[in-house]
Structure 1
């Protein structure tokens, strides 16, 4: 299976001022493209040559795992945004968040705290288990909740390349702003 760069459902400047055009061009167009290219190169002649992305992440290690994880993570990340995003989730996801954390604001506070606590490069995730119970997961580098048997619902990239051009080293400001562009319809469909 040959993997391709995920097509964005918005223009490169559509998420401004939360995520700037130049950040999208570099993060999506160059950084993610490199992961896709490397993954395609590394799986040739392996048991993963015709596997889907989640299987590769669950069963691989080393360079294949790192690149597959970053492709999966970034695909979920970039497709979670919309220039018309923001607000709060509705429906079953909203009910599950309220059941788990008491309110969306309490969830958001805990999610931001987890994202701030990721040392160096990694991800903060909202994930669900097989029974639909939600959790907040911190993953280093290119890891993803699928390695724990969970389904990722929403992932926020806390590698500096995701926000440095727009926020420099102010991760907290980026995390406060990101909620303005989350497409809760798309994220809710993952639940």
Structure 2
């Protein structure tokens, strides 16, 4: 069975940037629904759910039977993307990277601030539901991308380093229709110590 991650913080601890009600609804209801749907979808596919991680499944999505493939993309992506999103947030985050990751960011984007602006623009401009990402590609180069709905970067051979959930359920209770305010404020709870560890595991 697949499940949601354990949060390393309480619902109210990301305030004022993410309010407690949004976080509880997002984690305990939206994410749990994806978990329930994924496990139900795979209940007769022991060879998939028993021997593979969700990362393995999404990285090799064309190996999934066509009859359930889109469902796995939707529900499995919903679980993986949300677990990743919640995992990089913290009430006491490291606010900026250093070391090898900062060097890679400066080389690719010019500066940390320029990278943030690029991610902000991509996330704010993304049409409809989806995600803004900082990823590392197959050549170990950094890249800013967006994905639609619950599509995972893993399915296009890219490894996630950072994500901003821009589905309305991630911000609407607090920010209403002003996605830009949510995107700009979420940097206050993104923990670069966690992202640095992920990056170092890939290089």
TM beyond 0.5: yes
Q: After the TM superposition, list the runs of 4 or more consecutive aligned residues in structure 1 that deviate by more than 3 angstroms.
A: none
Whether the 8 Å CA contact 1:56–1:65 is kept in 2: the answer is no
Structure 2: 5+ residue runs without aligned partners?
Answer: none
**Deviation by residue 1:14-68 (Cα, 9 ceiling, x = unmatched):** 0001000000110001100010111111012224222210122231421122010
Report the equivalent of 1:56.
57
Partner Cα distance (2:141, 2:37) in 1: 34
* Secondary structure class of the residue paired with 1:13: helix
Report the equivalent of 1:76.
84
**Deviation by residue 1:97-151 (Cα, 9 ceiling, x = unmatched):** 1110010111011110110121100001000023321000110000111111111
1:187 equivalent to 2:189? Answer: no
Report the equivalent of 1:26.
25
Partner Cα distance (2:144, 2:85) in 1: 15
Whether the 8 Å CA contact 2:130–2:148 is kept in 1: the answer is yes
* Secondary structure class of the residue paired with 2:14: coil
Partner Cα distance (1:98, 1:49) in 2: 40
Report the equivalent of 1:115.
123
Whether the 8 Å CA contact 2:94–2:193 is kept in 1: the answer is no
> Which piece of structure 1 moves more, 46-55 or 66-75?
46-55
Q: Which structure is higher in helix share?
A: 2
**Deviation by residue 1:153-191 (Cα, 9 ceiling, x = unmatched):** 011100000000110110000011011111100011111
Aligned residues: 190
Equivalent residue runs for 1:165-176 within 5 Å = 165-176=173-184
Partner Cα distance (1:152, 1:137) in 2: 10
Structure 1: 5+ residue runs without aligned partners?
Answer: none
Equivalent residue runs for 1:15-164 within 5 Å = 15-46=14-45, 47-50=47-50, 51-58=52-59, 59=61, 60=64, 61-85=69-93, 87-164=95-172
**Deviation by residue 1:56-90 (Cα, 9 ceiling, x = unmatched):** 22314211220100111001100111111252111
Partner Cα distance (2:190, 2:148) in 1: 22
Partner Cα distance (2:57, 2:142) in 1: 24
Partner Cα distance (1:141, 1:181) in 2: 23
Whether the 8 Å CA contact 1:86–1:179 is kept in 2: the answer is no
CA RMSD of aligned residues (A): 1.1
Partner Cα distance (1:35, 1:10) in 2: 21
